[in-house]
Amino acid sequence: MNFKPQTRRLAAASRMRGAIAITAAIWLSTIVVALCVIDVGHVWWERRALQGVADMMALSAAQRLDDTCGGTQSVAAQIAASNGYTGTYTVTCGRFETGSSTFTEQGSPYTTVNAIQVLLNSTVKYWFMPMIGSLSEGVAVQSTSRVVNVNAFTLGTSLLAVQTGNSALLNGLLTSLLGSSVNLGIASYQALADAQIKLGDLAAQVNSNGANDIVQMLASSPTLGTLLSAVSHVLPAGDASQTALSGLSSAATAGGSGNKVPMDGSNGQTGLLDVGLENKNAAANATIDALDAVMVAAMVAHTTGNGVAPIGLSVSLLPTIAGIDLSQSQLSVSLGQPPVLAVGEAGTASTIARSSQIKLYLDLQLSTQSPNDPLGLILANLTVEVPLYLAIGNGQATLTKTQCGSGVNDSSAQMSVQPSILQACITTQQSALNLFNAAPIGPAPSCTGAVTLVSLSLLNLGITPATPPTLSITSQSAYASAQPASSTVTFTGVGTDIVSANPVAANSNDLGQDLASVLGGQSGGVLGQLVAGLQLKISGLGALGGLLSAVISTTLSTVLGPAVQLLVQNVLTTTVESLLSTTIPPLLNALGAQIGSATVTDLSLTCGNVELVQ
């Protein structure tokens, strides 16, 4: 018998059974892989959903970031609950640096925090993979959000309540700086002080392409006339502030003021603005006032390329005291470094406002005809001369902390303030003072030699020599300096989104020695030093002969000397001290400088610029 066909059929069936097994194995593997892919996709989907929750938690918590970092936890918990998240999470306060893209955790006190980092840890159960022994997978997601609270402020430059007497001083100062006559009234200056300018709007006018790009604006250096014209176009049409700005722009153009105004004043360089932000375009909604912009821009233009620049001012522009004649006095002022307006955030990227560096020489010559004399003698002409030199260094205010709350009263800004170093010297050696030396304020000026304060012509003594006898009061040169310690100024209720239409000024004389303590008549002040060293000398009696001259000189010194010294002492410690406190502060304030005390003005606080960074 032949069994070969049957054998062939059995072999074929065996081969078919093997193929089915292989096919089944392939299909089973495919199904397992597909189910695993579904589980992996499920995990990916859950991770994505968790990332969304983490992002929302970070963004919401950052909006409540403050110096206690307390409100962030409750906000994060609310967001987690509202999204059905029940797993574990951590919320960390810290600081994010854009340049290095690093987040650094910070502990209490949370003085420079600007970011929130949220970490979510959850377990996602597999649907199908347990059949191969894998039950679940741990999922961790992280989100970091950064908040930029932009604050704009000035130091020593704002004239918030422009006094009536200051309009003439400001007109004289701007006439000198712009090179053409300026004659604005008090209402115009007040309108400029009240007008607020958004930096983004200013950038759109300054930039040739019309973009409100802060970085592009800071890289530019428009002429003073062009910048003032740009400021005027930002202000409301027909407003008194715009009318005033248009006049100032025309004056700058007529005066040939083609000097450039560098817009970037960061890192100690001369410029209009110090924008202390890593993303400088975040300052687009920050505001400054128009008067600050005008005064600082004019001073920046005046010093550009000139180093220490003299400013032509007449003594007649200074506020005076009734009955005091300053017509014979002299005034010289030099501007070493202009102030800078600050816009930025608190933290390691320091936002610093500077006041001006000023050198000033005021030769006071006070003349009074026939003053009352306790001895009944006629003092035909009493002249008191006080040659005063002042050197005022840059003060600075650094933004150290901002807090944005849910309402105006919950928001605040804090600055560390370092008032200006001050040097005061009374001396006749003006040439040794280096008034227009570009060297920074530092070493004591030459303050030596005798100072003749008073020279009296004595008449009606029954003696008529060819030269009338003269009584002189002298003293040694006086010097005093002050390096006030830094202090802290905090503004509360400054608003949450450009609500500070009326800027708030904080003036605290406990920030350092004030004007009276340096110039005053007490023992440490320069006037006090003059009083302590007063000496009397009588001359012009030589024609009477040696013996008679000596007798009369001794008699006059004994009888008249104490009374005249007392009179001079009273003039120095009352009239002169009062006059200096009346004339000098308005002048220095107009130039963006202050003595001892430091006035910080918070212009605006813009809150809530929150962004995801990691």
Residues 51-103: tens digit of each pLDDT: 888 888 888 888 777 767 777 888 888 888 888 888 888 888 888 877 677 88
pLDDT score recorded for residue 393: 76
In DSSP notation, 72-99 reads HHHHHHHHHHHTT--SEEEEEEEEEETT
pLDDT score recorded for residue 508: 40
442 phi and psi angles, rounded to 5 deg: -170, -90
Average pLDDT rounded to a whole number, residues 559-584: 74
- Residue 144 falls within a domain, yes or no? no
pLDDT score recorded for residue 503: 43
pLDDT score recorded for residue 440: 46
What is the rounded average pLDDT for all residues in the chain?
73
pLDDT at 11 over 80: no
- Residue 145 falls within a domain, yes or no? no
Predicted confidence (pLDDT) per residue in 409-460, tens digit = 677 788 887 777 777 888 876 555 555 554 444 455 567 778 888 776 665 4
Candidate from 105-114, 134-143, 507-516 with smallest mean pLDDT: 507-516
Answer yes or no: do 157 and 290 share one domain: yes
The tokens for 215 are 């970085």
Helix (H) / strand (E) containing 50: helix 4-62
pLDDT band at 502; cut points 50, 70, 90: very low
36 phi and psi angles, rounded to 5 deg: -65, -40
DSSP state, residue 575: I
The tokens for 275 are 């924008």
pLDDT score recorded for residue 513: 44
Q: How far is CA 311 from CA 95, 165, 173, 589, in A?
A: 45, 20, 8, 15
Residue where a domain stops, chosen among 108, 134, 160:
134
CA angle 218, 592, 285 (to 5 degrees): 40
Predicted confidence (pLDDT) per residue in 130-189, tens digit = 666 566 677 888 888 888 778 787 776 554 445 555 678 888 888 888 888 888 888 888
Answer yes or no: do 273 and 395 share one domain: yes
pLDDT score recorded for residue 553: 58
pLDDT score recorded for residue 12: 56
319 phi and psi angles, rounded to 5 deg: -60, 145
pLDDT score recorded for residue 408: 64
pLDDT score recorded for residue 492: 75
CA 515 remoteness from chain centre:
21
Answer yes or no: do 124 and 162 share one domain: no
Measured between alpha carbons, how far is 515 from 528 in angstroms, rounded to an integer? Answer: 13
pLDDT at 190 over 60: yes
Residue where a domain stops, chosen among 134, 159, 181:
134
pLDDT at 216 over 90: yes
Answer yes or no: do 93 and 205 share one domain: no
pLDDT score recorded for residue 506: 46
Q: Counting every residue, how long is the chain? A: 614
pLDDT score recorded for residue 219: 92
pLDDT score recorded for residue 291: 85
- Residue 170 falls within a domain, yes or no? yes
Answer yes or no: do 606 and 557 share one domain: yes
Answer yes or no: do 118 and 163 share one domain: no
pLDDT at 105 over 90: no
pLDDT at 217 over 90: yes
Structural domain that includes position 104: 19-134
pLDDT score recorded for residue 201: 92
User: Number of structural domains, the chain?
Assistant: 2
- Residue 3 falls within a domain, yes or no? no
pLDDT band at 497; cut points 50, 70, 90: very low
- Residue 8 falls within a domain, yes or no? no
Answer yes or no: do 130 and 157 share one domain: no
Answer yes or no: do 195 and 255 share one domain: yes
More confident residue, 253 or 378: 253
Answer yes or no: do 280 and 361 share one domain: yes
Answer yes or no: do 424 and 543 share one domain: yes
- Residue 12 falls within a domain, yes or no? no
Q: What percent of the chain has pLDDT over 70?
A: 67
More confident residue, 461 or 253: 253
More confident residue, 185 or 486: 185
Which pTM does this prediction carry?
Answer: 0.73
Residue where a domain stops, chosen among 99, 134, 169:
134
Burial class (CB in 10 A: 0-12, 13-18, 19+), 335: buried
- Residue 65 falls within a domain, yes or no? yes
Answer yes or no: do 256 and 335 share one domain: yes
In the block, tokens 């950052």 appear at 62
Predicted confidence (pLDDT) per residue in 299-346, tens digit = 888 886 556 677 877 777 776 667 677 777 888 888 877 888 888 877
pLDDT score recorded for residue 376: 43
Please answer whether residues 273 and 263 qualify as being in contact, where contact means their C-beta atoms are separated by less than 8 angstroms.
yes
Average pLDDT rounded to a whole number, residues 526-549: 67
Q: How far is CA 442 from CA 357, 391, 437, in A?
A: 12, 9, 12
More confident residue, 380 or 8: 8
Q: What percent of the chain has pLDDT over 90?
A: 2
- Helix, strand, or coil here: 320? coil
Q: At what angle do helices 224-234 and 199-206 cross, to 10 degrees?
A: 130
Q: How far is CA 308 from CA 331, 431, 512, in A?
A: 16, 16, 26
- Residue 231 falls within a domain, yes or no? yes
Answer yes or no: do 125 and 223 share one domain: no
